[in-house]
Amino acid sequence: MKTRVALISIIIENFESVEKLNSVLHEYGEYIIGRMGIPYKKRNISIISVALEAPSDVINSLTGKIGRLDGVSAKTAFSNYDFENEV
């Protein structure tokens, strides 16, 4: 199965959605390489970056689920290369 490396950028404006966001990210934990969160207290938002390697359809599914959360927006940047998963 071919995979791609991607970075999902997430901005949280509604902190009531954080628990749901963490639950969604936990669902996809096997694909996550790492994540970094930055609270921007001046504007009362949080910025999260999630690096992952997964099939394109899995990445798109995760981004869609995140983007449907209230007060949360997400955009994804993909690597240009596909990787063959090692067995």
* Domain segments of the chain as ranges: 2-79
What homologous superfamily does CATH list for 2-79? ACT-like. Chain A, domain 2 (3.30.70.1150)
The DSSP call for residue 81 is -
Q: Is 79 helix (H, G, I), strand (E, B) or coil?
A: coil
Note the pLDDT tens digit of each residue in 9-49.
999 999 999 999 999 999 999 999 999 999 999 999 999 99
Question: Quick check: 85 pLDDT over 80?
Answer: no
Q: What is the DSSP letter of 87?
A: -
Average pLDDT over residues 56-63: 97
pTM here is 0.91
Residue 87: predicted pLDDT: 43
- A 10 A CB-CB count for 47 gives 14
**Which pLDDT value is given to residue 86?**
60
